């Protein structure tokens, strides 16, 4: 089962500093058919204008992954962390029992991100934050695991999250393809950051999404230079 979610059907919020598109119900956008997908709760496509951002605000009991598509995001939190994550790289904040953070675009250009929230296996725990570089060249023609709750993935450099889930990405040239085995009962969600591709024969355009279940394998075939982000969650 593949449910295509075209970009122009997503929820939306437009302000002078932020253009947000919501793959799932969020803030003032509510669609009872798009509340979550398994443990995946939020997938926001945000464009943040220069010298603006999200001021300090709290979170608890959520795994928050930020995938930077262009520009850079600067993070600050109540744990004392501060870091700048640039295009193609990823940061993870595990909110645990509670944390306050801010996310700013301090650049001279607009920054675009995917903000992905995954419900953790258990509530509470110490919060943590981390970021990692994932050069796009390393993802050329293959899926790379960026964040994961599985020890084997973490041993190979994936950022840790507190759920049996994975966040993966790949860049593909026209004619290239990648495949991913999806386990029984799992929920996958794929977004096309740019380009055109077919996902098990379903055509996606730039910034479209697809909710996937009951498919033994996910096969992505690029029709133009493409950048994909994929979540596999329980």
DSSP for 5-31, written as a single string: E-GGGSEEEE-SSEEEEESS-BTTB--
Distance of CA 179 to the CA centre of its chain: 19
Token pair in block for residue 198: 């077919």
Helix (H) / strand (E) element for 154: namely helix 151-155
pTM of the model: 0.96
Tell me which residue range forms the domain holding 225: 2-233
What CATH number is associated with residue 103?
A: 2.60.120.10
**Would you say 46 and 19 are in contact if contact means Cβ atoms under 8 Å apart?**
yes
Instruction: Say what the pLDDT of residue 138 is.
Output: 81
Q: What's the burial of 28, exposed, middle or buried (CB within 10 Å: 0-12/13-18/19+)?
A: exposed
DSSP E strand stretches across 37-126? 40-48, 52-59, 63-70, 72-77, 82-86, 90-94, 99-105, 111-118
The Cα-based distances of 200 to 43, 99, 189, 212 in angstroms read 21, 40, 13, 10
Instruction: Say what the pLDDT of residue 136 is.
Output: 80
- Please list the rounded mean pLDDT of every run of 10 residues in the chain (234 residues): 98 98 97 97 98 98 98 98 96 98 98 98 97 87 97 97 98 97 98 98 98 98 97 98
| d(C-alpha 26, C-alpha 145), whole Å | 26
Q: How many domains would you assign to the chain?
A: 1
Instruction: Say what the pLDDT of residue 24 is.
Output: 98
Q: What is the dihedral of CA 217, 118, 133, 131, to 10 degrees?
A: -160
Residue where the block lists tokens 């725990």: 125
- Where residue 124 falls (left for φ over 0; alpha for ψ -120 to 50; beta otherwise) is left
Instruction: Say what the pLDDT of residue 65 is.
Output: 98
């Amino acid at each position: 089962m593949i449910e295509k979610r075209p970009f122009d059907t997503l929820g939306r919020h437009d302000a002078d500093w932020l253009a947000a598109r919501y793959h799932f119900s969020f803030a003032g956008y509510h669609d009872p058919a798009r509340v979550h997908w398994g443990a995946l709760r939020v997938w926001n496509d945000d464009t943040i204008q220069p010298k603006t951002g999200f001021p300090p605000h709290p979170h608890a009991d959520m795994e928050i992954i930020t995938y930077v598509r262009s520009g850079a995001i600067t993070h600050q939190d109540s744990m004392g962390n501060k870091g700048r994550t640039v295009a193609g790289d990823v940061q993870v904040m595990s909110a645990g029992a509670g944390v306050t953070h801010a996310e700013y675009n301090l650049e001279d250009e607009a920054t675009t991100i995917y903000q992905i929230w995954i419900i953790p296996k258990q509530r509470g725990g110490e919060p943590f934050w981390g970021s990692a570089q994932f050069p796009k060249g390393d993802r050329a023609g293959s899926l790379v695991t960026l964040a994961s709750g599985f020890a084997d993935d973490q041993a190979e450099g994936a950022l840790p999250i507190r759920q049996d889930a994975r966040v993966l990405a790949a860049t593909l040239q026209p004619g290239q393809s990648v495949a991913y085995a999806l386990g029984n009962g799992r929920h996958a969600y794929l977004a096309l950051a740019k380009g055109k591709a077919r996902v098990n024969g379903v055509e996606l355009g730039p910034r479209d999404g697809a909710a996937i279940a009951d498919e033994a394998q996910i096969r992505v075939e690029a029709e133009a230079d493409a950048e994909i982000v994929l979540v596999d969650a329980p």
